[in-house]
Amino acid sequence: MRPLAPISNVTRVLLGISFFVLFVAAWGFVTFGGHVSKTFLADPWTMVQDGTQLLTKYNFSYDIAVTIWRVVGGFVIAALVAVPIGILMGAYKPIEAFLEPFVSFARYLPASAFIPLLILWAGIGELQKLLVIFIGSVFQIVLMVALAIASVRRDLVEAALTLGARDQGILARVMIPSAAPEIAEILRLVLGWAWTYVIVAELIGSSSGIGHMIIDSQALLATGQIIFGIIVIGIIGLISDFLFKAANRWLFPWSQI
């Protein structure tokens, strides 16, 4: 293999799929072959059966919808708050000096550690779930957006200045459009992290959602159901990633050239 040599699209897709096949084959080998106990790891077929049962008998699609709603809800609120703050922090040094130390500190506070407090403050309702995701995402987005805005090409800003742009114009017509594709990429990344927070939030004090199903299945030692839940999360992540990328290509055609 030569380093960096390109491969065709067909080869790329086939190679991508073949790892999934290999993964399931290895899983099937250790489970069907009796190398691990069924108590600890269900085989692929049991997983499919359990999954079908979850969807047909136990209304699992409702749990999936609830989880998606929580992730998207918490994430959208976090983005609405964090993106403008990040832009202001990146553009204006006094605002950065004022907020950056606190945000950097807050970023390291684990969202899951807030769950007991949040239950105390907001109960075990939807608000508490949204808050976990909000706390987990908001500081990350602020810092990353601020960095994206601050690292805008200096020569583009100077070119705009010599064309008569003033402070507001520089921000609105150079810094924001220049950093927009990167901001979209940041949101895609943080949405991925938001999925981990929601499951943790649902493991504790919840009566619906994918995480709640997983913790219930643990009590019944239904490893097939647990694996099915995990795989569903993976598939949803894959789909949302694909949608995000497609939206970015459509919104920012210039950054793909």
Partner 1 sequence: MSKLHIENVSRVFPAVHGGVPTRALEPTDLDIADNDFVTILGPSGCGKSTLLRLVAGLDTPTTGKILLDGKPVTRPGPDRGMVFQSYTLFPWLTISENVGFGLREKGVPQAERNSTVGQWLERVGLQSFARHYPKQLSGGMQQRTAIARALANGPEILLLDEPFGALDNQTRALMQELLLGIWERERKTVLFVTHDIEEAIFLASRVLVMSARPGRIKADLRVSLPYPRHYTIKTSPEFSELKARLTEEIRAEAVLAAEAH
Stretch that binds partner 1, among 19-27, 55-63, 80-88, 157-165 (CB under 8 A): 157-165
- Judged by beta carbon, residue 87 or residue 174, the one nearer partner 1 is 174
Stretch that binds partner 1, among 81-89, 125-133, 175-183, 231-239 (CB under 8 A): 175-183
Closest separation in Å from C-beta 245 to partner 1:
18
- Judged by beta carbon, residue 9 or residue 162, the one nearer partner 1 is 162
Please, are residues 238 and 20 in contact by the beta-carbon 8 Å criterion?
no
Contact between 92 and partner 1 (CB under 8 A)?
A: no
State the number of binding residues for partner 1 (CB under 8 A): 23
Contact between 252 and partner 1 (CB under 8 A)?
A: yes
Contact between 156 and partner 1 (CB under 8 A)?
A: yes
Footprint on this chain of partner 1 (rule: CB under 8 A): 153, 155-156, 158-166, 169, 173-174, 177-178, 180, 252-255, 257
